[in-house]
Amino acid sequence: MKHIARKRFGQHFLSDRGIIDAIVDAIDPQPGQPVVEIGPGLAALTQPLVERLGRLTVIELDRDLALRLRLHNQLNVIESDVLKVDFAQVAQTLAAPKIRVVGNLPYNISTPILFHLLPFVDVITDQHFMLQKEVIDRMVASPANSDYGRLSVMLQWRYAMENVLFVPPESFDPPPRVDSAVVRMVPYAEPVALNPKLLETLVQVAFSQRRKLLRHTLGRWLDEKGFTGQFDVQRRAEEVPVAEYVALAVGLAAA
């Protein structure tokens, strides 16, 4: 029986064989590697992945799809909302110090998934995700660019990222109304140690009124915190490099 894509799960199933092969080549799975796929759906990526790996763990929320996937004897199926999955526990279950994470992420919750994965980055080797192209543009954006914002800073602090593949709407069934792309995310081996919540808060304040100079937003917030260090607030939020936001978070925590 044909599975009907469910809007509430943001389901768009990959159907272009050429694109599927290109994504799998970009991931470059090796036999025996511990890989976890988010949202396997109709197994368009799952099957070529498992053929190279030998075994694959998948996370699927849709009960009907999870039932189908359990019939595949090379899959470990976790039937769950990915936002509730403890990836450190998954790695432990797989007896792996680190896991690789891949997937065609549901576009309606792609950003929450990216932030959910951040605390588990120490047990992740790399991540390859298909997302809305607009989101990936924001993830990899450089300062002084309209796409540069909170998402850029929070992810670039922790990952080296690369937009590796463009995916047109006609590659899916049903076709989404947006362009898609595939991003590669590799955690930095030695990131700057900081309080992620503090970085998230100050970045949120900075970009709350991105057209205004920072003295109106972040500057006032820093004054309230009693910050006495050096930070140029005569700029807009999008003009500040990631490294300066990171340094500010470190300085605030040490004050």
In this prediction, residue 176 carries a pLDDT of: 84
- Comparing 3 with 63, the larger pLDDT belongs to 63
Does the structure show a pLDDT above 60 at 7?
no
Structure confidence by residue, pLDDT tens digits, 67-117: 999 999 999 999 999 999 999 999 999 999 999 999 999 888 999 999 999
Q: Are 121 and 109 in contact (CB under 8 A)?
A: no
A 10 A CB-CB count for 93 gives 14
Structure confidence by residue, pLDDT tens digits, 151-183: 999 999 999 999 999 999 999 988 888 999 999
Closest to 16 measured CA to CA, from 170, 129, 166 = 170
Q: Are 154 and 199 in contact (CB under 8 A)?
A: yes
Range 6-29 average pLDDT:
81
Does the structure show a pLDDT above 50 at 2?
no
**H/E run at residue 222:** helix 218-224
Homologous superfamily of 7-187 in CATH?
Vaccinia Virus protein VP39 (3.40.50.150)
Domain boundaries in the chain? 7-187, 196-254
In this prediction, residue 11 carries a pLDDT of: 55
Cα–Cα distance between 24 and 221 in angstroms, integer? 45
- The answer to whether the 7-187 and 196-254 domains have the same CATH topology is no
pTM: 0.91
Q: Which residues are annotated as a binding site for S-adenosyl-L-methionine?
A: 12, 14, 39, 60, 81, 104
Range 203-220 average pLDDT:
96
Burial-class residue 232 by CB neighbours within 10 Å (0-12, 13-18, 19+). Answer: exposed
Written as six digits, the tokens of 220 are: 């006032």
Quick one: fold of 196-254? Helicase, Ruva Protein; domain 3 (1.10.8)
Q: Which residues are annotated as a binding site?
A: 12, 14, 39, 60, 81, 104
Q: Residue 213 — pLDDT band, cuts 50, 70, 90?
A: very high
